[in-house]
Amino acid sequence: MQNSPPIVSRLDWEAAREQLLTKEKAVFRARDALAAERRRMPWMAIEKAYEFVGPTGKASLLDLFEGRRQLIVYRAFFEPGVFGWPDHACRGCSLGADQVSNLAHLNARDTTLAYVSRASQADIARLKARMGRKMPWYTITDSFDADFGVDEWHGHNVFFRDGDRVFRTYFINSRGDEAMGTVWSYLDATPLGRQEVWEDSPEGYPRTPPYKWWNWHDNYDAETSVDPQWVKVSDAGEAAFRNLEADAKP
């Protein structure tokens, strides 16, 4: 390959990797700090009664939460006039949908992800079956897309529910959408975050130890409390990571 990087020994390669790792860790710390700021963003109360159509009929914005406290709504372009119609949604939105991880883990953190488009429910059901989509997907019927900055371009709007009151807490679009898809990218966009003890969150926010809440995606409903054996396994893993960090320091 032309203009390839230099070929070096194992020791030189490991030294170069450690040098880059220092910078990568700084990026991760900066990302965590940004998420902490996001958890302190002001909220905007939603006063308008938006209406969608879902598989069972009419649905309000509150219904999209499915009883959970947090909601992430992605505006996917699937409708007449979009490239790919009627067989496919927008290629970019479809690539993003292919990245969506199993939603059980997100739901376990009191968070719902929903897709919305202007296509009919019949068309959405057909697309979901063809492409193997699992996320709830609703039809926009009013000015929701225009009101939340996603009438001409894709984006994720984040909402929080306090009883029957709904608030807009954050918005991600453009290249910010590239990183979305993992449970971590979604949770980091929400007002409650990952809800783990190491996070810098406001007083009173829910916090549990890291790793302990993790589960097999088909086992959250069956296992209502943390498995003691998993606590031992995860504690051992954390200790091993801490020892590696300590050994790496000069």
Q: Dump pLDDT digits (tens) for 159-183.
A: 999 999 999 999 999 999 999 999 9
Per-residue pLDDT tens over the stretch 144-154: 999 999 999 99
- Asked, for residue 86, whether it belongs to a domain, the answer is yes
The number of CA neighbours under 13 Å toward the Cβ of 139 is 17
Same domain (yes/no): 249, 138: no
Same domain (yes/no): 57, 164: yes
Question: What value does the mean pLDDT of the chain take?
Answer: 95
- Asked, for residue 215, whether it belongs to a domain, the answer is yes
- Asked, for residue 91, whether it belongs to a domain, the answer is yes
Same domain (yes/no): 222, 144: no
> pLDDT value at position 152?
96
Same domain (yes/no): 217, 184: no
Domain end residue (candidates: 157, 188, 219): 188
Tokens of 69: 């406290």
Residue 165: give its domain's CATH number: 3.40.30.10
- Asked, for residue 64, whether it belongs to a domain, the answer is yes
Share of the chain above pLDDT 90, in %: 92
Same domain (yes/no): 179, 226: no
Contacts for 49 with CB less than 8 Å, ≥ 6 apart: 60, 61
User: How many separate domains does the chain show?
Assistant: 2
Same domain (yes/no): 225, 150: no
Per-residue pLDDT tens over the stretch 88-147: 999 999 999 999 999 999 999 999 999 999 999 999 999 999 999 999 999 999 999 999
- Mapped onto helix, strand or coil, the DSSP state of residue 132 is coil
Contacts for 237 with CB less than 8 Å, ≥ 6 apart: 211
Same domain (yes/no): 79, 153: yes
Same domain (yes/no): 115, 215: no
152/49 Cα distance (integer angstroms)? 22
Range of the domain at 74: 44-188
Per-residue pLDDT tens over the stretch 44-59: 999 999 999 999 999 9
Does residue 250 surpass a pLDDT of 60?
A: no
Per-residue pLDDT tens over the stretch 74-98: 999 999 999 999 999 999 999 999 9
Tokens of 66: 């499915």
- Asked, for residue 199, whether it belongs to a domain, the answer is no
- Asked, for residue 21, whether it belongs to a domain, the answer is no
14/10 Cα distance (integer angstroms)? 6
- Asked, for residue 80, whether it belongs to a domain, the answer is yes
Tokens of 48: 């308008």
